[in-house]
C-alpha cells in the first residue's frame, strides 16, 4: 500500500531563516499532495497543497515543490517566524472514482527561535 516518509523529524531554526521539510511517497498513482500544520492540542490545518500536474506552488512565505519522477515533494518556508513553530505533516492521496484517502507522513516538529 501507499507509504509516505517524512524528514527530518525535528527541525530547529532561527527566526528569519528558511526551513525545508522533505517527503517521499511510494505509490506512483498518487496525484494530490497537501501539507498540514498542527499546533499543540489543535486540529491539523491545511496550509498548501499541490496536484501532480504542477511542479511548484507558492503562497506568500510558503512553497511546495513536487518531483514526480523521484516521488519526492518538499515544503519550503522562508523568513520563518516564531508563530511558524508547530508540527507539519505531509500527505499523499490517490483519488479513486471521486474519493480520496490521505496517507500521512510521521510529522516534522519545527521550532523557530526568536
Partner 1 sequence: DAGVTQSPTHLIKTRGQQVTLRCSPKSGHDTVSWYQQALGQGPQFIFQYYEEEERQRGNFPDRFSGHQFPNYSSELNVNALLLGDSALYLCASSLSYSSNEKLFFGSGTQLSVL
Least spacing, CB of residue 97 vs partner 1, in Å: 8
Least spacing, CB of residue 52 vs partner 1, in Å: 11
Dihedral angle of Cα 12, 14, 20, 21, to the nearest 10 degrees: 20
Instruction: Locate 24 and state its grid cell.
Output: 517521499
Instruction: Locate 47 and state its grid cell.
Output: 496550509
- CA 21 → CA 8, 62, 71, 72, 100, distances in Å? 7, 11, 14, 11, 23
* Site membership for partner 1, residue 40 (CB under 8 A): no
Of 36, 73, 80, 84, the residue at the interface with partner 1 (CB under 8 A) is: 36
Specify the 3-state DSSP secondary structure of 79.
coil
Least spacing, CB of residue 114 vs partner 1, in Å: 25
* Site membership for partner 1, residue 42 (CB under 8 A): yes
* Site membership for partner 1, residue 3 (CB under 8 A): no
Q: Are 25 and 105 in contact (CB under 8 A)?
A: no
* Site membership for partner 1, residue 52 (CB under 8 A): no
The interface region with partner 1, picked from 13-21, 58-66, 69-77, 91-99 by CB under 8 A, is: 91-99
Q: Are 87 and 75 in contact (CB under 8 A)?
A: no
Please report, as ranges, the residues that interact with partner 1 according to CB under 8 A.
1, 4, 6, 32, 34, 36, 42-46, 49, 51, 89, 91, 93, 95-96, 98-107
Amino acid at each position: 500500500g501507499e507509504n509516505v516518509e517524512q524528514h527530518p523529524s525535528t527541525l530547529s531554526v532561527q527566526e528569519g531563516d528558511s526551513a525545508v521539510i522533505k517527503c517521499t511517497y511510494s505509490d506512483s498513482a498518487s496525484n494530490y499532495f497537501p501539507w498540514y500544520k498542527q499546533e499543540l492540542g489543535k486540529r491539523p490545518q491545511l496550509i498548501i497543497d499541490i496536484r501532480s500536474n504542477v511542479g511548484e506552488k507558492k503562497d506568500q512565505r510558503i512553497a511546495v515543490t513536487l518531483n514526480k519522477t523521484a516521488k519526492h515533494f518538499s515544503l519550503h518556508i522562508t523568513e520563518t517566524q516564531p508563530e511558524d513553530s508547530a508540527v507539519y505533516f505531509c500527505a499523499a492521496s490517490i483519488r479513486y472514482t471521486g474519493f480520496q484517502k490521505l496517507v500521512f507522513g510521521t510529522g516534522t516538529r519545527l521550532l523557530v527561535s526568536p
